[in-house]
């Protein structure tokens, strides 16, 4: 493997400025200044250290930075599990509307009826899609929804005096956040193996359920894109053992309007509104992990619950939930995300939502069948089973043959100006390439992607070193991800500190 130092030559904005340079010189004002008294302890001791630049330089700098980035507006972004969909600009415009931006969560309820109505309606729609009648929009991300859902499960068991239920069972195909939320919540995680079809092994499940089982956590379709067809049987096993079923709805875009988790036997679920229903997802941006649940978990929902008083035709915030697990997020949650989701759902309507799911599934299966034709890539687990919204190919044969693995393929695609798939996840596929084209791409776009895939693997077969040295023509070369994670350098100031100590640029180990 050839790691390269980052060839990041874009100067920082602080390095571009020169003292005395100005953007604009506003004319002198003839309005007398207003006396404002700032307490001395709140006054700056020194002027802010801002770079002095002219406007053109600033615009060029930021435009260039944005051009160094790849985004869903630039091209296909088939990042499996992370679901980067195109987000209609009208939703962005709505979220930025001043009527939305300038409302304050401390405003009296009478003055925010519009947004309360929107929250209430969205909760109802999500409940309908989930097949679970209660909903909160508070959690700020999928993982936060998982954490809340697990809290509800715990509250339910504790309320019944069932304090020994501490086990959450999850398949080995589960998303990393599932075991993480479980452990953070104080539960004990029990992982069970998938069977040869990439689904939950029922015998393995039966072997671990006990009077300690608090719940079972799964995403369906799972992270292999395979629909867990035995889900009703699984629900029966868990319910008979006294546990509850948690549905990780991050993959909901595969099933919107076609099947409802409540009817599969689930008790609680989170949506990733920021994946399924508009909003750019990624880069740690804001999200919304709305949680829906059944009647038996509803009395533990976080406060405030947005309700409708039909007699007085007004929406209100209900804080009077005696058994609530408490607060999950300040105020009403990440409301701008909810607004985008609501706009997306209303624009598509029931039929449109179903159509998007069908298209997402069709696209994933099309890509899968084309890519598995490439010598060196295989579809692990039962290849007869259709996949849903995403598929996972395994590059292990290619790796054994010529030493080129999933990471090399990802970097070669980046060289060609395409976003890479998710790699090396799920963990049960060794050289995983996890592809989720989404419903946004048309056949021509998918064909181009498939073609580039084929071309790059053909080049790697001629010269494996070409693959190891990729990516080419990018601002940053092949970096050592593990080193970077263990040595977090997150800001310009940290670089400057390291420079002073003579520790920048970093010296990487010779031999990786």
Ligand X SMILES: Cc1ncc(COP(=O)(O)O)c(C=O)c1O
- Residue numbers at the binding site for ligand X (CB under 6 A): 81-82, 141-143, 175, 177, 219, 223, 248, 250-251, 272, 287, 289
**CB of residue 378 to ligand X, shortest distance in Å:** 23
**CB of residue 337 to ligand X, shortest distance in Å:** 10
In the bound state, the residue with its beta carbon closest to ligand X is 142
Distance of CA 498 to the CA centre of its chain: 32
Q: Could you tell me where the beta strands, DSSP code E, fall in 345-487?
A: 378-379, 391-394, 422-423, 432-435
For residues 235 and 147, the answer to whether their CB atoms sit within 8 Å is: no
For residues 177 and 205, the answer to whether their CB atoms sit within 8 Å is: no
**CB of residue 309 to ligand X, shortest distance in Å:** 33
Distance of CA 101 to the CA centre of its chain: 24
* 275/478 with CB nearer ligand X: 275
The DSSP line for 246-260 is EEEETTGGGTTTT--
Spell out the SS3 assignment of 6-65: CCCCCCCHHHHCCCCCCCCCCCCCCCCCCCCCCCHHHCCCCCCCCCCCCHHHHHHHHHHH
The tokens for 49 are 């250290």
Rg of the chain over all Cα atoms, to the nearest angstrom: 26
**CB of residue 479 to ligand X, shortest distance in Å:** 22
For residues 388 and 254, the answer to whether their CB atoms sit within 8 Å is: yes
For residues 264 and 309, the answer to whether their CB atoms sit within 8 Å is: no
* 389/399 with CB nearer ligand X: 389
**CB of residue 274 to ligand X, shortest distance in Å:** 6
**CB of residue 142 to ligand X, shortest distance in Å:** 2
* 143/306 with CB nearer ligand X: 143
**CB of residue 388 to ligand X, shortest distance in Å:** 12
* 144/467 with CB nearer ligand X: 144
For residues 108 and 315, the answer to whether their CB atoms sit within 8 Å is: no
* 205/269 with CB nearer ligand X: 269
**Distance from C-alpha of 278 to C-alpha of 356, rounded to nearest angstrom:** 12
Owner of token pair 């415009």 = 93
**CB of residue 176 to ligand X, shortest distance in Å:** 8
* 267/408 with CB nearer ligand X: 267
Handedness of CA 159, 164, 170, 176 (dihedral sign): positive
**Distance from C-alpha of 228 to C-alpha of 364, rounded to nearest angstrom:** 17
* 142/471 with CB nearer ligand X: 142
**CB of residue 485 to ligand X, shortest distance in Å:** 17
For 272, how many CA atoms within 13 A lie in the half-sphere containing its CB?
A: 26
* 151/177 with CB nearer ligand X: 177
**Distance from C-alpha of 139 to C-alpha of 291, rounded to nearest angstrom:** 7
**CB of residue 287 to ligand X, shortest distance in Å:** 4
* 173/396 with CB nearer ligand X: 173
**CB of residue 472 to ligand X, shortest distance in Å:** 29
Q: Strand order in 432-435's β-sheet?
A: 378-379, 391-394, 432-435, 422-423
Give the H/E segment covering residue 350: helix 335-371
- The angle formed by the CA atoms of residues 294, 297 and 298, to the nearest 5 degrees, is 80
DSSP label at residue 109 = G
Give the H/E segment covering residue 335: helix 335-371
* 82/379 with CB nearer ligand X: 82
For residues 214 and 244, the answer to whether their CB atoms sit within 8 Å is: yes
**CB of residue 381 to ligand X, shortest distance in Å:** 17
**CB of residue 253 to ligand X, shortest distance in Å:** 10
* 129/241 with CB nearer ligand X: 129
Q: Which residues contact 365 (CB under 8 A, 6 or more apart)?
A: 386, 387, 391
Give backbone dihedrals phi and psi of 25, rounded to 5 degrees, phi first: -115, 100
* 222/415 with CB nearer ligand X: 222
* 82/116 with CB nearer ligand X: 82
The packing angle between helices 443-462 and 335-371, to 10°, is 60
């Amino acid at each position: 493997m050839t790691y390269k130092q980052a060839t990041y030559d874009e100067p920082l904005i602080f390095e571009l400025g020169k003292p005395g340079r100005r953007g604009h010189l506003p004319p002198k004002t003839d309005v007398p200044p207003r006396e404002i008294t700032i307490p001395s302890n709140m006054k700056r001791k020194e002027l802010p250290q801002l770079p002095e630049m002219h406007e053109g330089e600033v615009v060029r700098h930021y435009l260039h930075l944005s051009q160094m980035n790849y985004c869903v507006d630039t091209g296909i972004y088939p990042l499996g599990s992370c679901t980067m969909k195109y987000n209609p600009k009208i939703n962005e415009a709505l979220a930025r509307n001043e009527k939305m931006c300038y409302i304050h969560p401390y405003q009296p309820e009478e003055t925010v009826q519009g947004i309360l109505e929107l929250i209430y309606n969205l909760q109802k729609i999500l409940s309908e899609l989930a097949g679970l009648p209660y909903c909160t929009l508070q959690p700020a991300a999928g993982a936060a929804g998982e954490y809340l859902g697990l809290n509800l499960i715990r509250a339910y068991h504790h309320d019944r005096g069932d304090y020994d239920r501490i086990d959450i069972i999850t398949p080995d195909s589960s998303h990393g956040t599932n075991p993480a939320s479980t452990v953070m919540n104080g539960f004990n995680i029990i992982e069970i193996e998938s069977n040869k079809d990439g689904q939950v092994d029922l015998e393995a499940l039966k072997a671990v359920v006990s009077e300690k089982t608090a719940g079972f956590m799964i995403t369906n379709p799972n992270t292999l894109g395979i629909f867990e067809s035995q889900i009703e049987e699984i629900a029966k096993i868990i319910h008979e053992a006294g546990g509850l079923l948690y549905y990780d709805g991050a993959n909901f875009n595969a099933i919107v309007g076609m099947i409802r988790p409540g009817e599969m036997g689930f008790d609680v679920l989170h949506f990733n509104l920021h994946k399924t229903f508009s909003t750019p997802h990624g880069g740690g941006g804001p999200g919304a992990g709305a949680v829906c649940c059944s009647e038996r978990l509803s009395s533990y929902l976080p406060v405030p619950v947005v309700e409708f008083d039909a007699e007085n035709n007004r929406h209100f915030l209900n804080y009077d939930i005696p058994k609530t697990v408490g607060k999950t997020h300040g105020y009403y949650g990440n409301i701008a995300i909810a607004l985008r989701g609501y706009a997306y759902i209303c624009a598509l309507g029931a039929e449109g939502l179903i159509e998007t799911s069908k298209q997402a599934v069709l696209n994933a299966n099309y890509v899968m069948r084309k890519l598995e034709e490439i010598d060196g890539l295989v579809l692990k687990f039962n290849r007869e089973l259709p996949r849903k919204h995403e598929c996972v190919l395994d590059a292990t044969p290619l790796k054994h043959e010529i030493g080129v693995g999933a990471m090399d393929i990802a970097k070669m695609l980046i060289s060609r100006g395409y976003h890479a798939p998710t790699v090396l996840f799920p963990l049960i596929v060794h050289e995983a390439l996890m592809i989720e084209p989404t419903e946004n791409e048309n056949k021509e776009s998918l064909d181009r992607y498939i073609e580039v895939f084929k071309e790059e693997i053909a080049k790697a077969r001629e010269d494996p070193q070409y693959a190891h040295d990729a990516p080419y023509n990018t601002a940053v070369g092949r970096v050592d991800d593990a080193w970077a994670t263990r040595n977090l350098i997150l800001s310009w100031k940290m670089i400057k500190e390291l420079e002073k100590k003579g520790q920048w640029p970093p010296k990487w180990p010779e031999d990786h």
